[in-house]
Chain A
Amino acid sequence: MTTPRSGSGNPGELVTIVLNGEVRSVGAGLTVAGLLRSLELHPGMVVVERNRAILPREALQATPVEEGDRIELVHFVGGG
């Protein structure tokens, strides 16, 4: 399976995103699924919000990480 690329993504290029409130640079052309893999996060264990919209699990593979994206990765923790 090939990794889908965003339109402008060239190998070696970086895009800047805000991930869980932190500014990060990631490789251009990365998908959200690829981002999770690089963080060693299992897609079934996290929920992804991209630019304030929840990303369904089925869409992780096909969704590119793009310049300026604000991505939140959340999961369940202990709480009342």
Chain B
Amino acid sequence: MTMESCPDLPFVIGGQTFTSRLIVGTGKYRTNDEMVAAIRASGAEMVTVAVRRVDLDRSHEEGILHHLDPDEFFLLPNTAGCYTAEDAVRYARLGRAAGLNDWVKLEVIGDERTLLPDTAATLEAATALVADRFRVMAYTNDDLVTALRLEDAGCVAVMPLASPIGSGLGVVNPYYIREIKRRLSVPVIVDAGVGTASDACITMEQGVDGVLMNTAIAAAANPVGMARAMRLAIRAGREAYLAGRMAAREIAVPSSPTSGMLDTESS
């Protein structure tokens, strides 16, 4: 019997190995210093960024590359905010032209209130981007058939949501998430909806390869503290999954021996 944790497989996406199964976003932080401190505390290597117009009236305002060193973090450009496949492809190409890498976190939104993905447009954009030699990590909903099609389209990772972006509702359909993980060969990374450490842990306990989050850390009262909690939760959830949980049953089973009890006093 060893005290070591269960042996884990390396976390490989698109031919690149990562040690942290936590991927974090860079949006919504109060300050850049707080963002960098939180990302370091999270232990994440892969970090998402968005592509936006330079603000010309305040051109002294710095882009995020002034704060995040691409040698320290693997920066993953996203297509957040895009509502059509055409726009998503355009944003992905602009992100690649920055010269960091040929990866993209593909996101094509279909509904403003829920920010749920337009899965048809996501599939269309994924197909176009793969043909253009991108390594595509596709945000999608928790629908198995779409996940399978995104894998067939050549995505290097498929990223079903736990619940809507920024909602903090946690994983609302663990069965669907487990089934997607069971059926896909590429990494399955749950993207969006995690609210706190227990959500991250429960998500990892479903057996998925990783979790991507932003608001849960950035909107915490203490983002650096939450980032550390998330790092531990991801690790705990992964180890619990590898260790194999006990079977749940709806009746109690004593933990202590039922034999060897003393005689009860009878009156």
Contact = CB atoms under 8 A, between A and B. Distances in A.
A45 B27 contact: no
B63 interface: yes
B54 A73 contact: yes
Contact of B97 (A56, A77, A80): A56
A14 interface: no
B91 to A, nearest CB: 9
Interface residues of B, number: 37
A58 to B, nearest CB: 11
Contacts of B65: 45, 75-76
Main secondary structure of the interface of B (DSSP, over half): mixed
B52 A75 contact: yes
B15 interface: no
Nearest to B50: A79
Interface in B94-124: 94-95, 97-99
B35 to A, nearest CB: 7
B60 interface: yes
Given A20-B54, A40-B59, A41-B59, A77 B94 contact: no
Contacts of A19: 56
A78 B28 contact: yes
A54 B51 CA distance: 14
Given A80-B192, A80-B214, A73 B56 contact: yes
Nearest to B35: A78
Interface of A: 19-22, 39-41, 45-47, 49, 52, 54, 56-57, 72-80
